[in-house]
Amino acid sequence: MNKNTGVTVTLKASFTLDGKIATASGNSKWITGKAARRKAHELRHENDAVLVGINTVLADDPELTVRGIEEGRSPIRIVLDSKARIPEQSRVFQNDGVPVIIITGNQAPSRNWPELAELRILTAPTGTPDVLWVLSEIWKLGLKSLLIEGGSLIHASFLKSNCVDQLELFLAPKIIGGQDSLSWCGDLNVGTVNEASQLEISSITELGVDLLISAKLK
């Protein structure tokens, strides 16, 4: 549990051996195999909410539901969308009874939102929602565990805010290469190798051809 907010934050990322989550053209399906993807659905089931950034929604249009898990429970879906750009036809807005929270910045333009009973719009006091503010609002709603599912800028924001309790990193035996293909984590303002975040690995699990590395930040 994060001592500053009370919310337990798990960061999940799936990437190739060279740290990529998509090709330069944005293709990302599928980085990992079926066993790893099933484990990812288990992580969703185990958390109260799942959070992604607007770039992930625009690129992948995820449902963010739990599938293939017996008696699986889909978490509340949260999208960080500073400028309120999320398309109305996005799959997170499917009328399936699972609540959706869109978090915008205070400079976002006014717009019409889908008419869903389970939709809540939160407006941050800043142009870009601050991570600690987001977690405090989540806590006020009674949510105690949060799964972060990307993208790279969101991963970097939570890591820089020192708000990640657990990392679940799915490593696929593939190489994409290229300077323009997307890495799993954005800029952490690391100037020297000595400044790099150090992880303490608790376990490495084989999931089909992939590996799951469970770790914490030292």
- pTM, to two decimals: 0.94
180-207 pLDDT, tens per residue?
898 999 999 999 999 998 999 999 999 9
114-127 pLDDT, tens per residue?
989 899 999 999 99
Closest CA to 63 of 79, 81, 84, 47: 79
Q: Residue 109 above 80 pLDDT?
A: yes
Q: What is the mean pLDDT of residues 20-36?
A: 89
Q: What is the mean pLDDT of residues 52-69?
A: 92
Q: Which residues contact 70 (CB under 8 A, 6 or more apart)?
A: none
CB 187 within 8 A of CB 29: no
78-95 pLDDT, tens per residue?
999 999 999 999 999 988
CATH number for the domain formed by residue range(s) 8-217: 3.40.430.10
Sorted by where each begins, the domain ranges of the chain are 8-217
pLDDT of residue 61: 93
Q: Residue 173 above 80 pLDDT?
A: yes
Mean per-residue pLDDT of the chain: 93
pLDDT of residue 4: 61
Q: Residue 2 above 80 pLDDT?
A: no
Q: Residue 155 above 70 pLDDT?
A: yes
Beta strands in 30-158 (DSSP E): 49-53, 76-80, 100-104, 119-123, 145-148
